A = this chain, B = another copy of it.
Amino acid sequence: MPDPLARPAFWLRDNCPCAECRDPRSGQKLFQITDLPEELAVAASTGVDGLLEVLWSDGHRSRYPADLLAEPGTPAEQDAGDLRTERGKRLWRAADFAAGIPEAGWEAYLADPAERAAVLRAVQHLGFAVLRGVPAEPGRVLEVAESFGFVRRTNYGDLFDVRVEPDPNNLAFTSAAIAPHTDNPYRDPVPTLQLLHCLENAAEGGDSALVDGFRAADLLRTEAPEDFAVLTRTLVPFVFRDRGTELRADRPLIGTDPLGRIREVRFNNRSIGRLRLPDAELERFYAAYRRFAAITLRPGLQLAFRLEPGDCVVFDNTRLMHARTAFERTGGRHLQGCYADLDGLAATLAVLDRQSDALDRLQELFEGEGAGEYLGEQVTQAEHMLQAAALARQAGACDELVAAALLHDVGHFFDKHSTEVVTGRQLMQGQDNRHSDTGADWLAQWFGPGVTEPVRLHVAAKRYLCTVEPAYRAALSEASEYTLLVQGGPFTAEQAAAFAELPGAADAVAVRRWDDEAKDPAAEVPGFAAYRPLLAALMARA
């Protein structure tokens, strides 16, 4: 048990997990740092059930899991959360994709959370991924963006057409070659993601290329550290103007975080305005800019490919530069593009990962803990829940109700391991929740009320049925009759009437009946893995 007196007092108190300090639902802090007394100190501390309890000089009590108090690890662990700098990326050259680029089919991406996560992780980690088979129809690019985030509207609209325009306000809308660049550098905030969806590409030429701008900046830092430094500190005016807009952002070509790590590349020769600096600084800037530009053109850095109709490339516009070769105006070439942001993508990926972790954890529980004895019955806990789910399926129940049947006793797992898995609220309030509440609260992290409420009410449903159906009680197993009394016995008439009014009461009664039947030592039913797609789909919908 670490000594809390050795850690900084304000840090420790700021991380108090109790329900008075931190909203149990959102995790948001409920106090201001200025609310704490100037002379805050630990008055006493004791270890209790693997938790460290601290009594503060102002009378507040905190209980901390041991891992919270541990010393920080290596610098890599310290900033593991910041995935936006070079530290969170895998930098690449074209040859790294000799075996293929990160890609997935659109249908598989939509159907399979693991495929979806892999695509989004590639964008986060490598800077791009290609979806194949996105229907080559106008407007579909917005659907791709909305599958993981929010479209960022700009002066070019929600989406823009990349094709030869009669009166173009941007070189993108001509047939000219375009060297590697990032888009919209004159915007601040710059759109951090770009999508380009190919509707038609029958033209001679018009091939695409991507360059890892972080890799290019990294090479510049290695080959010419002083040039790298110049580009991180020189504010470059990026400008764009047409009749309807006039944009300007003054940002460096290479943006670094306060620790000096590469975090953003803005590179677009077309929109660099006039720098106003003393001549010596202009000389230094232009030398560094030319060196950096030359690096981005090295063939080894340029990943060339051709977008075919239905391909949609999604890429990090703060890192990857994109380019295209010139094309013949006679053949048709038509892309549609839109912008979005990395934070929305990262959130979607984090939620997918969290859901996948939760399913892994459930599977572990079904296959490990759940294989244990089920209070006095002839089936294990896991067998019991799997049988309940199978009965729900046989009865033609909807997906939510099958999931509720499958997971109705999941709280039993957590009650036994309360210091490990129960929610912060229950832990910190010292509540000894009954298993239906424990389970429903845990499930509410992932599922909507269609799943959680039947789970929450399935114990009450038994007390209800014992009141309204005398035959139901008579048929209870011995163990079940015992737990009925522990749980408070049959409802009074008023209690039963109130129960029947609750949302989810009818579903809870249905779960209860499958619960009662699901105790057949001879039954053969599908295992947990069979329910993962159903559970994943419900999580995605919640």
Contact = CB atoms under 8 A, between A and B. Distances in A.
Interface residues of A, number: 102
17 contacts: A10-B290, A11-B282, A25-B167, A27-B239, A28-B171, A28-B270, A31-B269, A33-B289, A34-B179, A34-B290, A73-B276, A152-B152, A187-B343, A234-B258, A235-B257, A244-B542, A252-B258
Contacts of A27: 239-241
A252 B71 CA distance: 22
Interface of A: 6-8, 10-11, 14-15, 23, 25-34, 36, 68, 71-73, 77-79, 81-82, 84, 150-155, 167-171, 176, 179, 186-190, 192, 232-235, 237, 239-250, 252, 257-259, 269-279, 282-283, 286-287, 289-290, 293-294, 297, 341-344, 346-347, 350-351, 354, 444-446, 542
Nearest to A444: B243
Contacts of A252: 258
A26 B171 contact: yes
Given A189-B189, A343-B247, A235 B26 contact: no
Given A259-B233, A343-B188, A250 B79 contact: yes
A325 to B, nearest CB: 14
B235 A82 contact: yes
A246 to B, nearest CB: 4
A354 B169 contact: no
Given A8-B286, A286-B14, A343-B249, A276 B77 contact: yes
Contacts of A444: 243
A7 B170 contact: no
Q: What is the count of identical protomers in the complex?
A: 2
A262 to B, nearest CB: 14
Given A189-B192, A192-B189, A341-B189, A250 B25 contact: no
Nearest to A187: B343
Contacts of A277: 72, 78
Contacts of A14: 272, 286
Nearest to A170: B26
A282 B8 contact: yes
A151 B154 CA distance: 10
Among A186, A277, A446, the one with the most B-chain Cβ atoms within 10 Å of its Cβ is A277
